Amino acid sequence: MNRKFLCSGLVITLIFALVAGCAGVHPLPGGNSNPTLPADAIRLPEPRFESDVPVEAALRDRRSVRVYAEVPLTLADIGQVLWAAQGVTDERGYRTTPSAGALYPLEVYVVAGDLMDLPAGIYHYQPDGHILVRTTGGDQREALQAAAVNQTPI
């Protein structure tokens, strides 16, 4: 068999495998606009898109805080932070955070312990649908703190 023909066939096969593999691993964003929700999914309140604080003022006044309010976060507060971190911004599936090739490899989880509207557990944020899905029940904060070499939680 001709060596040139063999090499050409091998290259074409590798390209086909690469393209087929990438297409199956990374679906395009904005796929199913009406996905079936998991039974334990928690739909988050719609995020706010308007604010009394301009972005410039928020950046200027930003400071780290080590003393926290006694009032637990609400589901609306959590939803707003999650949307700001990875929320979907249009029907094509683009998000608030940029990603090369729109692959969005980062995943966001919430570890809940003492919240008003959310039972204790670990939740996975699913931007498409703006929902939380519980992955583990119960208060996992102490176990997570131990796994993080007992660093003080925020």
Which tens digit of pLDDT belongs to each residue from 81-91? 999 999 999 99
CA quadruple 26, 106, 78, 59: dihedral sign: negative
Per the domain annotation, does 81 fall within a domain?
yes
Per the domain annotation, does 11 fall within a domain?
no
Q: Give how far the C-alpha of residue 38 lies from the chain's centroid of Cα atoms, to the nearest Å.
A: 16
We report the CATH number of the domain holding residue 140 as 3.40.109.10
CB atoms within 10 A of CB 149: 6
Which domain range does residue 100 map to?
38-147
> How far from 146 is each of 56, 120, 141, 142, 150, CA to CA, in Å?
38, 17, 9, 6, 5
Q: Which residues contact 101 (CB under 8 A, 6 or more apart)?
A: 26
Per the domain annotation, does 54 fall within a domain?
yes
Per the domain annotation, does 120 fall within a domain?
yes
Look at the chain and report how many structural domains it folds into.
1
Per the domain annotation, does 125 fall within a domain?
yes
How many whole angstroms separate alpha carbon 8 and alpha carbon 134?
49
Q: pLDDT for 33-77, tens place per residue?
A: 555 778 889 999 999 999 999 999 999 999 988 788 888 889 999
- Dihedral pair phi/psi, residue 111, rounded to 5°: -105, 110
Per the domain annotation, does 30 fall within a domain?
no
Per the domain annotation, does 112 fall within a domain?
yes
Per the domain annotation, does 76 fall within a domain?
yes
